[in-house]
A and B are shown apart, each in its own frame.
Chain A
Amino acid sequence: MKMTYFASNAIHQLRNPSRTIVLIFCSIRLLQPIQAADGPSRDGKSLENAFGQVVKPFLMQNCVRCHDADKLTSGIRVDQLNAEVEDRHIRLWQDIRKQIVDKAMPPEEETQPTEAERQAVAEWIHQALETARSRPLPNNGVTRRLTVAQYRNTLRELLLLEDNMTDLLPPDAVSRDGFVNNQETLLFSPLLLEAYFEVAEESLRRCIVDSTSKPKIQNFRVELGDSINPQPFPDPLILGAGSLLLNNKDVLVKELTPNKPFDFEPFAMRTKHRFIEGYAGNDTVRGWREYDSIYHSVFACMRGTDGYPKGRAYSTVPQGLLLRPAIPSSELFQVESTYGPKANFKVSLRELPEGGLFRVRVMAAKYNDGLLLDRGDTAQSLEQPDAVLCHDLETPQTITIPRSGIYQVDVYPSGTKSTTPSKKPKEKPNDWTLSLGDREFTGALSQPAFLVLRLDAGELSLKARHPGSVSVDKVVLSSLGHDHELAKRFAVFEQRSPKLGVHLGLRRDCGSTLAPVGEPQTVSSDKLTRFVFEGAIRNFPSPDVEKDNINYLAGIREIGVRSEYTDGRDMPRLLIRSVEFEGPFYEQWPPPAHQNIFIESDQKKDSVAYAREILRAFASRAYRRPISVDEETQLMNVFEQSSAEGCNFQDSVTSALLVVLTSPQFLFLIENSESPEPERLNENELASKLSYFLWNGPPDQELMTLAANGNLSDQMQSEVGRMMDDPRFSRFVSEFASQWLALEKFSVLEPDSGRFPKLTRDTRAQLQQEPIQFLEYLIQNNLALTNLIESDFLLANEVIASFYDLADKTESGFEFVPITHNRRDLGGMLTQAAIMAGLSDGRESNPVKRGAWLARRIIAEPPDDPPPNVPTLSEETKGLSLRERIERHRNQPGCVQCHLKIDPWGVPFEEFDAGGRLKQQSVDARSTLPDKSNIAGVNDLKRYLSQDRIDQVAFSFLKHLATYATGRNLAYNELESLKGAGKSLKANGYRMQDMIRFVINSDLFLTK
């Protein structure tokens, strides 16, 4: 942590006796104090007079000597202050008043003003501040640039283009309140504008096609299964270190021709290659070699299989490829042998389309699996009346299962036998493989109890195999009653369904760089089912090698297919039969993005009229309002000039579209104001304001139509309801919650993996969602604000539940569901792991960060900024614990004042460690808050906030919400109005939707 983080009250620093200040006092002319009995004077004129007569001379005599523009002691100057009490000086005036009243200033060794002088000035400041706070600011409209995320959403919805080009844009700056959509921090620069030009050109290039040409479509399928390929490629294939290729006979690659309602050209993958750099094992070899086979272009490949805890990570069976959930790797070199999870199946290949959409179709099923038993599970008694015993397994046996049901299989090895070891690679010496009918189960046998599975009555073939020198004495199948503990475990197990995830990216020697294609899909049927995943190629990592690459391993793309891992609970295996790719994927030609611009029209023959129609429609959507006559004329000029220079129709229209996409009308949200008086937003402005608030994106057709007809204001309440029900509302929740709660601190956290092994990368990604999902749930159900502070439920999926030791409470996969917790350390948002760990350094808990966060974000009592010359901690503090260092720091003059407002809020959270969980050892978390309330610990703090201080929490929520909704800093009088008016929400318990609607219906939102 940087020491500048420790704030200090600037003015108090003047007490530092080392600063010797000599004030030369002139004789003081006594002034009449303003009589409080006269009542508060709000008359600007009288305030101004009094400033000249009383305040200014006071400041000049007592303060300016140290606090002028040159000396700026403690970063404070007062010489420029005037009777206006501008908004930007309000805080300073507050501080000055406090210094004067507390007699903290001038420093003790200086000549002191009289009590009457102090009173007079303090009273003047009080009145002036009152006046300033009630003063309405001139309303001159708002012009703010779209944030990067808003621009991305806007461009996508305007162009129907999934390709994300915004990685060319520099990120937005963060405002004091933590938001990126603040008008004042959304700066503009030549660099940014150049990027907008690039993005506009590139985006239109991707939308607009030559509709007379035929598209090229790549379509192929990789089929998987034991011996599925009748004519396997004869040569052994190698794909560098750590890549385990499936046997050639178990993989069949077919190039396909899709059915399309338009003409196209099938893209045939290149099969002839010539490389000089290749691999033999992990060694580089040089020498030109020629290759000619599709099997040198498309590979079926596994990664990360060593040390799977239970059973084998993957295996090939006649029906396809079986995968266990892919355990995330620690992503640390030499901690694990490869990057990427185990077991990770990938189709590795040399060519994919450069752009456009793609679809991956996976034929998959849930395997009719058995539950491999854990170490310590016991075998069934051999005396069971209906147990099926089977000896002599040198050859396959057929046994008869008396009735359908759940069976336990116990395997009893006997002494040694001399068989040749299996040729299957990577088989652990202790692995047994048991075949029952057409099903196969492999695992370590540490005891006879091996497997539980469901069997049908009737005949069943049985085979047992062991690679080592052990043979089977007998296999026993015992029927389990459904109240048997193992039968119950199995029943839960067989209800579970694997989650199929598809990823796209590139191969690296040390693993893969893959990004997920959409969300994982649940595979709940044991019948093969087709699952479709769609994405835009541009949004995935690509290897970017040159066309004439000479390295066999360079430029390999990957389509990853996995059973996704939640928390390691036993899960039936995922069966993959085939993986098919099609791209660019078109349902029609020209594609919708093209037709969306070159709209259907009966004016197509008249190029000028058609161009006008296109440009008017496009620009009106882009500008989120009807375009003006001037704007239309200018765009037509661009079109006509381009045509005159010999460009064809499409290119000439494109020139004008480029102007639209780079004009301020598109890039800015504009609320146009005619006068400094407050004016109502017009209908189009209202549509945009609502949609960029609630959707972080552009208004949809319905909003635009309502606005065009002048009906939006009237129907605003129902529209807000519709917008909150729309999936796009999640964008608001995610954007707002992340910025309000400073969740990016958690995303950049580097936790000590030794101390917090559960905070893996994947778990952290889920934990970061927890506050967002929680807030969304509160809003969607219009629950009371107190739930933010304390709640008897949490929102969790299997990953989160497992992190909090509640794994048995849910079977929801990756879906967040409410769970009642009955635990003292859970509930509410404040102590969620993303917050507690995010406000640490990944090693030690940090009460200062937590305290400052709570003061700023939750109760909106922000500590002052640290003064410019905060003393850093001296060297001798090295070696002290964080807590000791903080204490030592806090005790320094110049620091203590602010820390009194920060640290007490953070101390109760000391019960939580830097990984976001309750500490094991007991902690002294008692604290005395700035208002002198004594707090016994974190739960007492929660009680205090949700009961005694809920108005303040509500104010903070409203303040942050309104700041985000308007995209600007709020004026004092607006904050004051929120404080007062917000209390009308209290009767109903400060419900979340009510508060959102309250902001939307307030003048600060609706006027400009």
Chain B
Amino acid sequence: MSTFKQIDRRAFIRGVGGVALALPVLDAMGNGVTEEIPRRFCAIYTANGMSLPKSEHDINEWSWFPTAQNNSEFVFSKSTEPLSPFRKQLSFMGGLYHPSGPKSDPHQCSDMWLTGAPLHNSKPGTYNSVGLDQVVALHTKRFCRQPSLVLSIDAGTGFLSRTGTISYSLDGRPIPAENNPRRVFDRLFRVDPASLTSVRNKLQLRIKLVDAVGDSARALQQQLGKSDRERMDEYLTSLNEVESRLIASEQWIDIPLKQQDYSHLNLDVTTEGEPAEYYRNMFDLIALAFDADITRSVAFMLNREDGMGISDTFPLKLGLSHTHHTLSHAGDKEGQLQFAKYDLFLSQQLAHFLSQLAKYQDRNSSLLDNTIVMFGSGASTTHNPRNLPTLIAGGANMGLKHGTYWRNGESRMSNMYLSILQSMGIEQGSFADSTTTLSNSIFG
């Protein structure tokens, strides 16, 4: 601790009976290695559902959900085959849904995917409710530079029922997404000094405020005579914790970024160009951000509902017959096959991301084992809010047991979200409309 004079001064905060409060977070920063291995979360969303062809078309091998078994193991379909190298690190999750889904306008399924909010009957004055990624961010932000990274195919927020972001803040407001790889890179990896200064100023102001409030609180405590001090102690403890978090954030500004190899990035790609090239670079950025522990919570919306935005045209660019939204409505054999081929394209992108995570190493193992990746859609086939296609990958070090196609009748998405939170060590009694965790599942 001797290298941090300022921290020394504050780490042993007066009051609370003079008990020294160590700051484990700061210990970690000095060594560049955290005591606790990072636990990360990444949500990846695709709109309009997946191809689950009608049985009469006899192309079950193109169903996104596995339909066959071999030696009691599920068989990857043709549209998920690129993910087969990760069999032991992923699971398909069947039967999941948001109970609010069937009650709501189906175009809102992306709005509620991470939140589970009752958008059919939202409270007056509210918009949405907090998303899973932001709950994770709330608990991991003190370990890293950025609470979360919110990405989408289209920048901004879109609008309710046609959202352009899947991330919603603690008070349920949409968090604008970024979609430009260069801007993301510049913000995360090439921080400009001016913005650093403004961040530092803001933090320092807040630290001063906390200091002054501490003085005020201690003055009060002395007046309090024989009064029950339990509540005041709670207050002062919270104040100390807030102060240490602020100081940690301030310290980040001076700590150099981890040295990384950026040579594989092509930051000139845009959404107007090759879809695969775009997605590859965005996924590479996420992997780099995880590797440098810049953030531990990422939400990435790959495409949007109902023909919104540029991504609707991607299937055409790939030589498929129709736009994404139109394909998703297909009921005929050829249409459902074409839609499945777009699933195949998405599987290839996801496989690339998983391979990047598998390549980077934490102290104990690959990043993939320390990251829960959730990939899925808010609709199974278009406008069908039950049995949401969901794939969970990674997180072996958080106790996830992979390699299965899990189903247990119908289960609430929120229950799985609660399981994810608990796997990450985030003690929370419930999430949205959860009733319990996902028992007898890959979460143990």
Contact = CB atoms under 8 A, between A and B. Distances in A.
B8 interface: no
Nearest to B162: A509
Contact of B160 (A187, A543, A549, A675): A543
Interface stretch (A258-266, A494-502, A574-582, A665-673): A665-673
B232 interface: yes
Interface in A637-676: 637-638, 641, 655-656, 658-659, 662-665, 667-668, 670-676
Interface in A745-802: 761
B156 interface: yes
B158 A541 contact: no
Given A188-B231, A544-B173, A664-B232, A676 B226 contact: yes
Contacts of A164: 125
B171 A541 contact: no
Most buried by A among B162, B171, B220: B220
A659 B212 contact: yes
Interface string B87-118: 00000000000000011111110000000000
Given A142-B228, A545-B158, A631-B219, A188 B209 contact: no
Contact of A513 (B127, B170, B223, B232): B127
B157 interface: yes
Contacts of B208: 638, 641, 655
A664 B174 contact: no
A642 to B, nearest CB: 8
Nearest to A283: B307
A549 B120 CA distance: 25
A663 B216 CA distance: 6
A714 B245 CA distance: 49
Contact of B105 (A333, A553, A672): A333
Given A509-B107, A663-B220, A140 B235 contact: no
Given A188-B231, A284-B308, A544-B174, A665 B159 contact: no
Given A143-B231, A193-B239, A668-B231, A630 B162 contact: no
A188 B183 CA distance: 39
A168 interface: yes
Given A188-B231, A543-B160, A546-B176, A672 B307 contact: no
A188 B234 contact: yes
Contacts of B103: 331-333
B213 A541 contact: no
B155 interface: yes
Contacts of B125: 164, 167, 515, 539-541
B227 A670 contact: yes
A339 interface: yes
Contacts of B239: 193
Contacts of A192: 238
Given A187-B234, A284-B308, A510-B105, A673 B127 contact: no
A603 interface: no
Contacts of A554: 158-159, 162
Given A190-B245, A284-B307, A543-B160, A634 B105 contact: no
Interface string B158-179: 1111100000001111101000
B303 to A, nearest CB: 13
A398 B390 CA distance: 72
B156 A144 contact: no
Nearest to B104: A333
B242 interface: yes
Contacts of B225: 141, 672-674
B241 interface: yes
B29 interface: no
A129 B138 CA distance: 48
A548 interface: yes
Interface in B126-161: 126-127, 138, 155-161
Nearest to A195: B170
B433 to A, nearest CB: 10
B217 A141 contact: no
Interface residues of B, number: 65
Given A190-B238, A508-B160, A628 B223 contact: yes
A477 interface: no
Most buried by A among B107, B122, B138, B209: B209
B224 A548 contact: no
A183 interface: yes
Given A659-B216, A672-B223, A515 B231 contact: no
Interface in A315-355: 331-333, 339
Most buried by A among B121, B206, B234: B234
Contacts of A549: 156
Contacts of B237: 188
B256 interface: no
A841 to B, nearest CB: 13
A701 to B, nearest CB: 24
Interface in B208-262: 208-210, 212-213, 215-217, 219-220, 223-232, 234-235, 237-239, 241-242, 245
A203 to B, nearest CB: 14
A506 interface: yes
Interface string A138-170: 001111110000000000000000001001100
Contact of A332 (B120, B205, B206, B219): B120
A513 B239 CA distance: 38
A631 B225 CA distance: 16
A634 B127 contact: no
Interface in A485-525: 506, 508-511, 513-516
B129 to A, nearest CB: 10
Contact of B235 (A188, A516, A551): A188
Interface string A893-913: 000000000000000000000
Most buried by B among A544, A553, A671: A544
A605 to B, nearest CB: 26
Contacts of A283: 307
A969 to B, nearest CB: 13
B162 to A, nearest CB: 7
Contacts of B235: 188, 193, 664, 667-668
A239 B228 CA distance: 61
A513 B160 contact: yes
A420 to B, nearest CB: 38
A143 B309 contact: no
A631 B216 contact: yes
B107 A510 contact: yes
B209 A662 contact: yes
Contacts of A674: 225-226
Interface string A532-543: 000000011111
Nearest to B234: A188
Nearest to B103: A332
A761 B123 CA distance: 11
B441 to A, nearest CB: 20
A168 B170 contact: yes
Contacts of B444: none
Given A284-B308, A665-B216, A672-B227, A551 B170 contact: no
A106 interface: no
Contacts of A761: 121
A11 B102 CA distance: 46
B157 A545 contact: yes
B306 interface: yes
Interface string B308-319: 110010000000
B409 interface: no
A283 B323 CA distance: 13
14 contacts: A143-B231, A188-B235, A193-B239, A331-B121, A511-B105, A539-B125, A541-B126, A545-B156, A545-B157, A545-B159, A551-B162, A634-B215, A658-B209, A672-B224
Given A188-B237, A197-B242, A541-B126, 6 more contacts: A144-B231, A284-B325, A514-B124, A541-B124, A658-B209, A670-B227
* 5 interchain residue pairs of minimum CB distance: A546-B156, A510-B105, A141-B227, A515-B124, A190-B241
